[in-house]
Amino acid sequence: MTFLQRLILSSVLTAVFFAGCETTRDIQYDLEPAAHLEAMWFGGVELDYVTVLFDVEIDNPYPVSLSLQRLRYALVSDGHTFLTGTALDNVTVPPNTKKALTLSDQVTYVRLLRALGGEPGSTIPFKAELTLSLDAPRSGWINLHAEKEGDIILPESPEINVEGITYNAVDVVYVPTPQDVVDKMLEMAEVKKDDLVYDLGCGDGRIVVTAARRYGCKAIGFDLDPRRVEESLENVQKNNVGHLVEIEQKDIFTLDLSKADVITLFLLSRLNVKLIPQLEKLKPGSRIVSHSFAMEDIKPDKVVTLISREDKSEHTIYLWVTPLKKEAGE
């Protein structure tokens, strides 16, 4: 090996050695990166979505940039985790700096409301637990943890305008009942061929269509949302039950229920309660079945819980037989 070749090799080895030292120094650096959760808050409430925002400060004491790739979060209230999610963002934290940033995710308003069991505007104590995954050149992934406890105020629901009338958007959110839960609701209501079944807020019409197909009875589905009415009409047509089932675009709070024998509901509890004056006008012996939501102060005649094969979740069905009975002590 010539002198020149030896010189080149020695310079290359020196460069490799120092590069190696730098890597080692990164990992052994005295100060570790850290994350602080300064605040968690709800941003804009869209028709169906709420934006959850996290104000985070990342302290990068390393002489290299850190790249934030992912934030995983869990929100805990009253000992149970009510919301988890992932926010993906690609933010660079320069060497030797503290960087304040706001990371966001979107959750459906109904998911948030159901998870917290609260009314819009109510205050809920919470703990937010964050894991921030950062990519550090040469030393690989670093997971930083940050927590914060506090109170959150559930944002008010946005409003929706249907044919000139303004409604609370959450009240009219559409979530279908799994088919096996529909079957159980109708079984609990002991539907007969001569019955008239009303589904108040009929969604895609699955309950009224099932009642007609399975029991040969007449049924009417009511919904405010024109999209749901259209879907229900298609469902009726597809199942050839047009001679038994009607679909009407109506506000359920304007209906006279006195002709119905069976009422099916999958509405929030407060809407069930709002319906009581109308339900009290049902004929004696009429049956009301509600998926998931009870009716405050009114004692159910039967409550059944089942696990749906469709979503593997537990569903509760309430049955009331008229006349409605107040809970004891009311």
Ligand X SMILES: C[S@@+](CC[C@H](N)C(=O)[O-])C[C@H]1O[C@@H](n2cnc3c(N)ncnc32)[C@H](O)[C@@H]1O
Q: Residues interacting with ligand X, by CB under 6 A?
A: 171-172, 174-177, 199, 201-203, 206-207, 222-225, 228, 251-253, 266-267, 291
Helix H, strand E, coil C: the string for 302-323 is EEEEEECCCCCCEEEEEEEECC
Report in angstroms the alpha-carbon separations of 281 from 67, 182, 284, 289.
64, 25, 9, 16
Amino acid at the residue 27: I
Residue nearest ligand X (C-beta atom)? 201
| CA–CA separation, 21 and 19 (whole Å) | 5
Report in angstroms how near the CB of residue 159 gets to ligand X at its nearest.
13
Where helices occur in 239-305 by DSSP H, the ranges are 269-274, 276-279
The minimum distance between CB 106 and ligand X, in angstroms, equals 20
54 or 222, CB closer to ligand X? 222
By beta-carbon proximity to ligand X, the closer residue of 69 and 249 is: 249
Query: In whole angstroms, how close is the CB of 200 to ligand X at the nearest point?
Result: 7
> For residues 3-14, b (16+ Cβ closer than 10 Å) or e, as one string?
eeeeeeeeeeee
* Neighbour count for residue 241 (Cβ, 10 Å): 20
Q: For residues 146 and 172, which CB has a smaller minimum distance to ligand X in the complex? A: 172
Smallest separation (angstroms) from ligand X to the CB of 205: 8
Q: How far is the CB of 77 from ligand X (least distance, A)?
A: 24
Least gap, CB of 323 to ligand X (angstroms): 24
Q: Give whichever of 66 and 208 is closer to ligand X, judged by the CB atom.
A: 208
Q: Are 53 and 104 in contact (CB under 8 A)?
A: yes
- 218 vs 315, which CB is nearer to ligand X? 315
Instruction: Assess contact for 167 and 224: CB atoms under 8 A.
Output: yes
Which is closer to ligand X, CB of 54 or CB of 320?
320
Two structure tokens written together for 284: 């004696």
Any idea what DSSP says for residue 285? Answer: T
217: closest CA among 195, 242, 190, 187?
195
Q: Cα separations (Å) of 181 from 64, 80, 103, 278? A: 56, 26, 38, 25
Q: Which is nearer to ligand X, 105 or 225 (CB)?
A: 225
Nearer to ligand X, 29 or 174 (CB): 174
Let me know: does 92 contact 73? Beta carbons within 8 Å.
no
Least distance in angstroms from the C-beta of 265 to ligand X: 7
Minimum CB separation of residue 209 from ligand X in Å reads: 11
